[in-house]
């Protein structure tokens, strides 16, 4: 099983999960054209995508959905209230399926779970496929027991290291935005991400991918160092207990597990 974080940043998010003959997209927050480029770049066939799982309605997760679903009859899965918003905006050009409880798409078992974020009904996804499991859980204001429980034991997890607290504090963003980001309904700091990663690694996760990095309030170096510092403090060692990588903002390559 492979996880391709094709795009991951505050500008656009889209992850391909599966293999060359079966794929699921989590979010479609880049233009159809960019998505086509990234798939081509990874030798992936758009015709193998069986579903698009949407985490929430923010445009950095949905920008390309309208065009993708008009060109291809790929069903869209999202929580019922998120689906309502997507419908109202005209974002769905194909069929829509409410993502509730545990459901399967082909051989894959999908588990959506709620996350705290300032959207109508945001969720993360756990995907079990071919005796492996992975999770995508970005856009979360804090780490909840439900998130940790839902992702327990996944082989790989894409989680967010959105901002460095000091950079955010000293940065140019207006106070309201700074407050929103760190409110518990916004995004995770590098430190919070480290704490989340530590809990996942202790539950059996071996690969952690850091994504959804802010362009203005973080750097790849800060994200890696901030998360690693927490993991080290927790007695976890890179190489022995886990592998940590950073999702590219654009045209990312896969990790396999």
Smaller CB separation from Zn ion, 56 or 108: 56
Smaller CB separation from Zn ion, 108 or 210: 210
Smaller CB separation from Zn ion, 139 or 195: 139
DSSP 198: H
Shortest gap between Cβ of 196 and Zn ion (angstroms)?
Answer: 16
**CA 79, CA 95: separation in Å to the nearest integer?**
14
Shortest gap between Cβ of 13 and Zn ion (angstroms)?
Answer: 6
Confirm or reject binding of residue 58 to Zn ion (CB under 5 A).
Answer: yes
Q: Where in 124-163 is the site for Zn ion (CB under 5 A)?
A: 139
Shortest gap between Cβ of 59 and Zn ion (angstroms)?
Answer: 9
Q: What share of the chain is helix, strand, coil (3-state, %, to 5)?
A: 30, 30, 40
Residue holding tokens 């034991």? 153
- Which span (54-62, 75-83, 106-114, 160-168) binds Zn ion, by CB under 5 A? 54-62
Residue holding tokens 């794929």? 23
Nearest residue relative to Zn ion (C-beta): 58
- Which span (56-64, 100-108, 164-172, 217-225) binds Zn ion, by CB under 5 A? 56-64
DSSP SS3 for 40: helix
- Which span (57-65, 69-77, 188-196, 247-255) binds Zn ion, by CB under 5 A? 57-65
**CA 195, CA 183: separation in Å to the nearest integer?**
17
Shortest gap between Cβ of 12 and Zn ion (angstroms)?
Answer: 9
Q: Is the dihedral of CA 256, 1, 226, 251 positive or negative?
A: positive
**CA 205, CA 244: separation in Å to the nearest integer?**
11
DSSP state string for 81-116: HHHHHHHHTT--SS-EEE--SSEEETTEEEEEEE--
Give how many residues touch Zn ion by CB under 5 A: 3
Smaller CB separation from Zn ion, 115 or 154: 115
On the 0-12 / 13-18 / 19+ scale of CB atoms within 10 A, 45 is: exposed
Smaller CB separation from Zn ion, 34 or 58: 58
Single out the residue of 60, 128, 160, 164 in contact with Zn ion (rule: CB under 5 A). Answer: 60
Binding site for Zn ion (CB under 5 A): 58, 60, 139
């Amino acid at each position: 099983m492979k996880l391709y974080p094709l795009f991951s940043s505050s500008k656009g998010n889209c992850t391909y999960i599966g293999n060359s003959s079966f794929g699921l997209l989590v979010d479609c927050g880049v233009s159809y054209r960019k998505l086509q480029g990234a798939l081509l770049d990874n030798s992936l066939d758009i015709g193998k995508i069986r579903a698009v799982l949407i985490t929430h309605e923010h445009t950095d997760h949905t920008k390309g959905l309208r065009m993708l679903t008009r060109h291809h009859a790929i069903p869209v899965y999202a929580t019922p209230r998120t689906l309502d918003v997507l419908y109202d905006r005209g974002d769905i050009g194909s069929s829509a399926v409410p993502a509730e409880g545990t459901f399967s798409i082909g051989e894959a078992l999908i588990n959506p779970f709620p996350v705290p974020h300032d959207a109508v009904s945001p969720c993360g996804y756990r995907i079990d496929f071919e005796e492996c499991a992975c999770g995508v859980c970005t856009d979360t204001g804090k780490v909840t027991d439900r998130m940790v429980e839902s992702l327990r034991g996944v082989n790989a997890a894409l989680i967010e290291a959105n901002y460095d607290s000091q950079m955010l504090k000293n940065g140019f963003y207006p106070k309201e935005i700074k407050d929103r980001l760190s409110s518990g309904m916004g995004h995770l700091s590098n430190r919070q991400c480290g704490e989340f990663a530590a809990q996942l690694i202790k539950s059996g996760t071996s690969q952690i991918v850091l994504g959804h990095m802010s362009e203005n309030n973080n750097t790849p170096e800060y994200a890696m160092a901030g998360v690693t510092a927490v993991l080290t403090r927790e007695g976890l060692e890179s190489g022995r207990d886990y592998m940590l990588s950073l999702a590219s903002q654009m045209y990312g390559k896969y990790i396999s597990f």
